[in-house]
């Protein structure tokens, strides 16, 4: 029971801190929007392609672009979640409290899920507008996919962010370590997003959702359990 309280208080602290430093979150959301915009310029809105519903190229690959934008922005958010612990040496402070350190890991993961979801809530509508995607009719299914994918992202992302928090080259090392592990999530999330938006003629969606569930189950478990080792000095 104490451990649940500890998980909760870590989430509470991160949420409070995040809310009070809006500038950082705003900058991140802005960055994500900018990435989407740059993609639109790089690829161009007028290239026709025989998508299932007669979409242009941009609209057809929109799920992929969206997830790349989320991935790049998410890395910033994950890195930041431990940078706030670095000032005043709070990370060491966390290490020195008694009790199960895995609770800290779990709390951090949940807090990161919240931050990432908040960011996605802003970015997805922007993508909808820029790439002419009809999101509203598919919102529940879309939300489900995004939540599953974000959970996996937050789990491994928090893990690696904690590991690289102390390093000189952490801005490079975090994505370097994180992206290979994110490959299954990106594949599944992009596929599933595409199928939700464009229709699932052959019933493949369940396979991708299952992949996300398996990924989440494995890595939320492994990363939380390993957090005791992560937080050592």
Partner 1 sequence: MSHVASTASIPAVQTERLAKRFARTWALQGVSLTIGTGESVCLLGPNGSGKTTLLRVLATATRPTSGQARVFGHESIDDGDAVRRRIGLLSHRTFLYGELTALENLRFAAVMYGLELDHRQLEAALADVGLDYAADHRVRGFSQGMTQRLALARATLHAPPLLLLDEPYSALDAAGLQLLDQFLIRYVGGGGTVIVVTHQVERGLAACERAIALKAGRLVFDGRSDAFRSSPEAAGVGDWTR
Partner 2 sequence: MANTRLVDRVGTASGTLAILLLAVGLYLGLAVAPPDFQMGDVYRIFYIHLPSWFGVALAYLTSFVASILYLFKRQPRFDQWALAGAEVGVVFNITGLITGSLWGRPTWGVYWTWDPRLTTTAIMLVTFAGYLVLRGFLEDPEARARVSALVAIVGFFNVPIVYYSVKWWRTLHQQPSSPNTVDASMVTPLRVMGFAFLCLCTYLMCRRYALAEAESAAEREDLQMGVANG
Q: Which residues bind partner 2 (CB under 8 A)?
A: 156, 159, 163, 167-169, 173, 176-177, 179-181, 183-184, 187-188, 191, 202, 204, 207-208, 211, 214-215, 218-219, 222-223, 226, 229-230, 232-233
CB under 5 to 8 A by kind: which of partner 2, partner 1, none does 156 bind? Answer: partner 2
Per-residue exposure over 96-108, b if at least 16 CB sit within 10 Å of its own CB, e if not: eeeeebbbbbbbb
Stretch that binds partner 1, among 15-23, 31-39, 170-178, 215-223 (CB under 8 A): 15-23
| Gap between the Cα atoms of 138 and 214, Å rounded | 23
| Gap between the Cα atoms of 159 and 168, Å rounded | 17
Question: What residues numbered 92-111 form the site for partner 1, per CB under 8 A?
Answer: 92-99
- Bridge partner residues of 48 (DSSP): 56
CB under 5 to 8 A by kind: which of partner 1, partner 2, none does 147 bind? Answer: none
| Gap between the Cα atoms of 57 and 41, Å rounded | 12
- Count of residues that bind partner 1 according to CB under 8 A: 26
Closest to partner 1 by CB, 55 vs 112, is 112
- Bridge partner residues of 56 (DSSP): 48
As to burial, measured by CB atoms within 10 angstroms (0-12 exposed, 13-18 middle, 19+ buried), residue 67 is: buried
The residues that touch partner 1, with contacts defined as CB under 8 A, are 2, 5-6, 8-9, 12-13, 16-17, 20-21, 84, 87-90, 92-99, 232-233
């Amino acid at each position: 029971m104490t451990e649940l309280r500890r998980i909760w208080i870590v989430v509470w602290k991160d949420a409070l801190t995040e809310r009070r430093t809006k500038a950082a979150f705003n900058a991140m959301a802005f960055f994500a929007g900018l990435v989407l915009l740059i993609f639109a310029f790089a690829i161009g809105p007028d290239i026709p392609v025989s998508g299932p519903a007669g979409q242009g190229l941009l609209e057809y690959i929109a799920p992929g672009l969206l997830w790349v934008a989320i991935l790049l922005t998410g890395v910033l958010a994950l890195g930041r979640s431990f940078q706030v612990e670095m000032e005043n040496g709070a990370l060491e402070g966390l290490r020195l409290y008694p009790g199960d350190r895995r609770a800290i890991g779990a709390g951090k993961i949940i807090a990161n899920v919240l931050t990432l979801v908040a960011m996605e809530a802003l970015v997805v509508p922007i993508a909808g507008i820029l790439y002419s995607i009809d999101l509203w009719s598919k919102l529940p299914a879309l939300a489900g996919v995004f939540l599953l994918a974000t959970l996996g992202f937050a789990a491994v992302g928090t893990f690696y962010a904690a590991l690289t928090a102390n390093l000189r080259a952490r801005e490079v090392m975090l994505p370097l370590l994180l992206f290979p592990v994110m490959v299954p999530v990106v594949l599944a999330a992009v596929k599933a997003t595409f199928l939700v938006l464009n229709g699932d003629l052959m019933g493949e969606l369940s396979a991708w959702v299952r992949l996300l569930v398996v990924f989440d189950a494995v890595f939320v478990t492994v990363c939380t359990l390993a957090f005791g080792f992560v937080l050592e000095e």
